[in-house]
Amino acid sequence: MATDYFGVLGVSRDASDSDIKRAYRRLARDLHPDVNGDPGAKERFQEVTRAYEALTDPDKRRIVDLGGDPFDPGSGGGASGFGGAGFGGLGDIMDAFFGGAATRGPRSRTRAGRDALIPVELELDETVFGTTKDITVDTAVLCTVCTGAGTAPGTHPTTCTTCSGRGEVQSVQRGFLGQVVSSRVCPTCSGTGQVIPEPCRECGGDGRVRARRTLQVKVPPGVEDGMRIRLTGQGEVGPGGGPAGDLYVEIHERPHEVFTRDGEDLHCRVTLPMTSAALGTTLSLKTLDGEEELDIRPGTQSGSVLTLRAHGAPRLRSTGRGNLVVHVEVSTPTRLDAEQEKLLRELAALRGEDQADSHREAQGGLFSRVRDAFNGR
C-alpha cells in the first residue's frame, strides 16, 4: 500500500506548494536530530523529508496523485536520497531552522479578510416554508477615501529604510553549525518592504473601516436549527483592501407553542374527552398549511398516533415533505354531577364493568388459577 505522504505532512490532497513547504518547515524544526533527542525523532524526520520530496517534485507528485509511491519501483518511481531531484537538501533544512525561505522577499500588504458569523432567529413556519430576511451586520469594509491603499490622498508608500525594501533583516549568530546568518521579518515594515509616511486619516493606514450595513438573506425551505447559510464575499474585508471573507448566517429556530420538530417531521398533541375517543369524532386541526380534518376512530386509546402525510417540513436536499405526527391523549373526567355519575354507572352495569363485581371476579379468577396450579390441575 502506498504511503499517504499528505497525511505524513498533515496537509490536504489539494495543498499548494507553499502549504507543503510551510508544513515541512514546521515539522523539521521540531524533529531535526540536532535539536530533538527523542529516539524516534530521527526516523520521523526522515519520514517527513521523504514526504516533502515526494510532493514537491512534479514527477513524483504525479505518481502520488495517481495512487502510487514514487519511491517504489513498481509504481513507476525509484528510490532517491536527500539530494535527489526536486529536493533542495541542506538548503531546505537550513530554511526550516532559520526562516530563510519563509521570509525571503517582501510580502504583500494586501491579505484576505476573515469570515464572519451572525445568528438569525426564525419562526417555525419561516424555516419550513422559507423566507427572505433583512439582516444588519457590522464588519470591516473597504475604506472609500483611500480605496484600500492606506495612504492619505496624493501620497504613496515609500521603501522601508530598515530593510531596504527586502521585507527582512539579517543577523549573524553562532550555533551548532558554526556562524550562521539568519533572517527575520523586518520589524519596521512588518515584512512588506514599504512604509506609509502619511496614513489615511479615515482608516489609519489599514485600508478598511468598520461599517454597519443591511443585507438580504434568502432562507430556503426546510432549513433546521443550527444550519448555516453562506454568503460569499460578504465577510470582513482584508487588510490593505484585500478580498473579503464569507459571511455565515446561523439559523436559530424559535420554539413553537403547538408543534415540535424532528428533522422533516412535525409533532403535536391533541386531547380528547373519553366520550369522543369511545364514540369517534372528527377534529378540525390547525396545521401550518391551514385547517385539516382529522378522523378519530371509535375506541381510540390514549397514546395512539395519527399521521397526516406530507404536512411536515420540506426535505432540504431532496423532494417531498415530512409528516405531521399527532399524538392522542384521552382525558378522564375528574368531576361529575349526580346525573353524569348515574349515567356512567348505568353504562358500566350495561357493559358488565361494575367496579366491585369486576374486582371480585378478577380476584376470583386469580385465586382459582393459583389454586389449580397448586392442585396440579
Homologous superfamily, domain 116-253: Heat shock protein DnaJ, cysteine-rich domain (2.10.230.10)
The pLDDT of residue 29 is 77
Residues of the chain with pLDDT under 50: 78-92, 94-103, 358-360, 362-363, 366-367, 370-371, 373-374, 376
Cα–Cα dist 300/91, whole Å: 83
The pLDDT of residue 108 is 85
Q: Return the number of other C-beta atoms located less than 10 Å from residue 245's C-beta.
A: 20
Cα–Cα dist 68/72, whole Å: 8
Residues 297-326 pLDDT 10s: 999 999 999 999 999 999 988 899 999 999
Is 143 annotated as contributing to ligand binding? Answer: yes
- CATH classification (class only), 260-331: mainly beta
Domain ranges of the chain: 5-98, 116-253, 260-331, 338-375
Is 160 annotated as contributing to ligand binding? Answer: yes
Whether the CB-CB separation of 294 and 285 falls below 8 Å is answered with yes
The pLDDT of residue 90 is 44
**pTM for this prediction:** 0.61
The pLDDT of residue 69 is 81
Is 268 annotated as contributing to ligand binding? Answer: no
The pLDDT of residue 291 is 94
The pLDDT of residue 370 is 41
- Evaluate whether the domain defined by 5-98 bears CATH number 1.10.287.110: yes
